[in-house]
Every structure is written in C-alpha cells, then in structure tokens.
Structure 1
C-alpha cells in the first residue's frame, strides 16, 4: 500500500473587530486644536488678497462659531504700523470694513511708491541732461566727482530732549505718557502743560466750587475751547468756572489770588486763571469767559453766571424764596406721631465724638442753647 496523501488544511478568515468607540476612522482626520494654532500663527504676506485667502481656508478648518469675528481679530493683530492704527480707529469694525481698509491702504501704498519712483527718474533725467549739455559745451570728458553726503545734524528733540534721527517713530517719547500731566508723546522734561503759576501768590478771595451735588444724574454740556470739545458740568451753586489744565495753553494762564472752597469745606489751590473764548458747537455763538485752572483730575464746571450767559439754564427769579419769617424761633407747629404701643422703647447711648472735635461740638451746642433752639436735659425722660 502506498502512503496516504495529506489532507489539506483549510484556513478560515475570522478577523478581529474592535468596539465602535475604539475603532479609528480612516481618511483625513481634522484636528481643530492644531488648525486653530495654524490659524493664529499664520504670518502676514503681500498681497493682502493672498493673505485673506489663506486666512479663510484656515478658518474653515477651525469650525469657529463666529468665523468673521475671528478673521477680523486675526487681521488686526497681524498687521502693523499705520494700517493697524487705521483699523483701531474704527468704532464698529466688521470683517467687510477691515478688508476694505486693508485693500485701500495697500492700493494707496502702491500708488505712492509709483509716484516716488517716477519723481526719482525725472530728477535723474534732468541731472543727466544738464551734465551732457555741459559736456558737449566744454568737449571734455571729465567724470563727475563723487561728493560725500553730509550726515544729518542731530538736534535736541522738543518732545524727549534727546538727539535722534528725524521722524516721530524714532523719538523715544513716541507713544509714552508724561509723568507730570498724563499726556502722550512727550517726556516730563519737555512737558509744556501748566504745572503751577501761582505758588507764591497769596489767596485773598474765597469762591465756592461745586457747592451742591445731588448724587444723581448730572447736567452737562459740551463746549469748544482751543479747538477741543470739552464736557462741562452745569453747576448753579458754583461761583466760578473751572477747566482742567490739559485744555489750557501755557501762555494763556496767569496767576490768580482766588481761593477755592469745595463742597465738603476743603480748600483747593488752583493753578491760575485764564480768559478763554467759548464756542457753542450747536449755535456757533462765541462767549468770553474767565476760568480757574485746576489739576486734571478735577471736573470742568460752568458756574451760575456762565450758564445764564450761555443760555444753558433759565433762572425763574419769581420762584425763589426771598425771605422766611416766623413768630418764634423753632416754632413749626404741632405734630402728632402714631406709634405702636406694643413695641418696647429702647434707650440708646450717646454717640461718641472724636477728641479733636469735642471742643467744636461743645461750642456749637452752647450757641444753639443760647439762641433757644436746644434745651438741656440732665435727667432721663419718659
């Protein structure tokens, strides 16, 4: 007998399958975090339309809820210089407005560059024609001697006090705040604002400033002084007009002897006084008023006389209380108080008075007692 042939082994294909939550999807997997990183790291490139196309492509992959807002912020954050300043000036900046400003800025730059190149070519042409004319006249071939350009003579800057190349971008004070007046684009050493013009003057006139304040909504008006729109508070209880020092030029301010008393009976030392022209922007009427110059952190006020002269407030004199008369001091009639008899009355201790004020309070109580307004009680009452 021969050997038996081996039985072929049949292999069955039984693939192992992962659960659905662990199974990987094939194809392009989009990672929103990575796409957002690429979106915000995208650098600016010329022309602007090419940069805008790449930006829209990146934003579509990021799945933003507000894609237009993200694209607008990305453009503002990426551009620099004058273009960024123009975008930040817009009050209600949208994506369409951003694209419009960027395209207009890019187009204007190309036109300016073209004009400059044309001007340079024309200047070179005139110089070469003049040289050729002189060459033909003398019939001598001489090379034009190359003269060295004299370097720019640096001068002390009126904004920072240092010597630097011309241009506001080269100035160290550009964009900085002054420590003296809080203004921008200059240092304290070159500050031209009014600091103090009456330090050695003696005050001999007392004026009340902002004597009444209700604590609610204040009445204000915008007036134009020195080409600046200033918001003034209309204070009918103020005896003078006040203006912050940042709105007054140095040559306009002069010393003053006025002593200002605040509403809380504190004294304030003004910086000076100035006679300024006030323009009402609505009627274009001009008025000449005298202002007391105060530091920048104080409110600009228009007093009673000024608001009447500017016709901002009308005073009805017949509504004023001319005089109050009474038969006896403190006689206001009889009052009936309704109290709950079930509520037990309480005896409250006397209020504590600071030692520094005890003598003043004692004098005031004695004055009221002498006038008959108060009657001293030395024993408990029902």
Structure 2
C-alpha cells in the first residue's frame, strides 16, 4: 500500500502574511511527510516534482521567481535551499537573538511549552557551541516561579539536562501538592455536590403536586442541597425529599415538620414574655393598695401648699390647697 494516499498532505504554502514564518512551518511538516511516505528515498527529479505539487498555485509562483542554473534545477537540496532564501531572506542574527533572549515564561504556561518555544527560537541564533549553555541560562532567567529559580541558582555544576529535569519535577510536584492540600471537608463537599449534579431526576408532569416544592416551584436537577425549615436538615429542595414529610410533631402534634423546627416553640416564648410583662404591671398597680390609708384619703386643698402639724405638734408635709 502506498502511504502517500494514507498520510495527510501538509497542504499548500500560504504566501500571504508572514511568508518567512509560514515557510518554516510548512517546511517542517513537509519534511515529516517525506520521511513518513519514504519520498526522501526517491530520485531528485521526483522529489522536486513532488515539492512543486505540494507548494500549490501560489507557492509555485514563488518557486518560479528563484534563479536556478541547469544543474541546480536537478538537485533537490539546492532547490530547497534557494526556496528558503527566497521565502525567509537573509536572517538578521541580532533580531533573532533578541527574540530568544526576550522570551519569558507566561504565568499559565507549562514548562514543556516554554522549553519547546526556546528550542525553536535558538535554531536561528547561530550560537554554535554555546547553544546548550545559553539555553540553560535562558531557562533559569526566564521561568516565572521565583522559588524554582532560586533552587536552580543554588545548584553547582548545573547542566542543561539537569536543569530541564529539575523544572519538570518541580512542576509535577507542585500539581501533586495542590491536590493533596484539599482537606477532608473539602473532599466531602465536592463529593456531595458532584453526586447531586450528576443525579438524574425522575420525570414528572409539569405543574404536578409531586414535582413542586414548598413554595410551589419545580426543583432543578442542578440545584444543590439546602437547609430545610421543616426538618432542619440538608437535602434537595422539595417536599418529597424532606424526611419530615407526613410525620407528626412531638411538640404541637402538627403535620409535616419535626419538633426542632416547630413554630409553636417561638409562639410559646412570645406568650411567656407577654405574661411576664403583665405580671410586672400588676406589681406596679398593687403599690397603691399597699400605701397607708391616710395618704390615699388626704383631702385636697385646691392647689395651695400649706404646712400641717401632727398630733405631737411636729411639722408635717406640705399640702396643696385649692382656691
């Protein structure tokens, strides 16, 4: 079976926009396609024809713009090199290195993604033998986690491989610790919420009595448990889910509620307070009956105060005498 009809084709080259970036991406996919289909083992003339066919109409226009001698037109590596010079142009080493050194890890970016981006940028920097050392230095200086950076700086003899291993281990450990810090209460709460969210409620007729809650509303399958005012327990909102439904209260002998949620308790407390207030009023009113009879029956003098003397000749209280 010919694998060329099974493995997907990379598609035509996009010449609009950033041609240099489009060519780099297209070339990477096409090289993988050549290896997978064993097209790289064919003769140069067949590979050149396959390349022109894969470029598409717009890509062939770019191909026709390159200058090739008669011998160069028969060599696939030369054709590919000329095509890259036409699309990418002359590489600006200073700009390519600027893009590499200014690339830092984003806040929500994983280390593997950040590392692959650095590997892609460093290919066009022409660092030669310093490539591994500068890549290691950029990883240490560009990672977003300060704790990890301090740990890497404390290691003596840090190599590129040990730096990559430490970063991956630190990231995986942080994810594991985040899962392990959940308390038992949090786990229980999440389990209850997931249970009620995933539960399939039985269908019921719209507006039916069995499908309505205390306030006449229809319970939703996404609704979470609430504290019921009839049983003081946590359950899904609805009369049929309440354990007090149909039960008799031991305090007031009422229906559909427990004694712990009985409203008669509040009424009894209010009645006791009213009775206590009435007893205090009775005590105040009874003070007049406890006062001396002579004081209660003291005649009025019309609003004019005058001094009186008792039987022993001692001065008494001032009394008002009316005019």
Q: TM-score, normalised by structure 1?
A: 0.27
Q: Give the structure with higher Rg (CA).
A: 2
> Which structure shows the bigger proportion of residues in helix conformation?
2
Q: TM-score, normalised by structure 2?
A: 0.32
